[in-house]
Amino acid sequence: MLGVALCRRGEMIRHRFHHRVTLPRSRGMTRKRRPFFGPSEKRAVKRAMMRDCSRRCVYCGECLDLAVATIDHVYPLAHGGANAPGNLVVACAPCNRLKGDMLPHEFFFSFPQAGLNFLSYARVVHRALKRSARRAVSLALAAQPVAA
Site of interaction with Zn ion (CB under 5 A): 3, 57, 59-60, 92, 95
CB-nearer residue toward Zn ion: 96 or 132: 96
CB-nearer residue toward Zn ion: 59 or 75: 59
User: In angstroms, what is the minimal distance from the CB of 24 to Zn ion?
Assistant: 35
CB-CB neighbours of 6 under 10 Å: 21
How many whole angstroms separate alpha carbon 45 and alpha carbon 85? Answer: 9
* Burial call 112-128: b when 16+ CB within 10 Å, e when fewer: bbbbbbbbebbeebbee
CB-nearer residue toward Zn ion: 57 or 136: 57
Local structure of 129: helix, strand or coil: helix
User: In angstroms, what is the minimal distance from the CB of 118 to Zn ion?
Assistant: 10
User: In angstroms, what is the minimal distance from the CB of 57 to Zn ion?
Assistant: 3
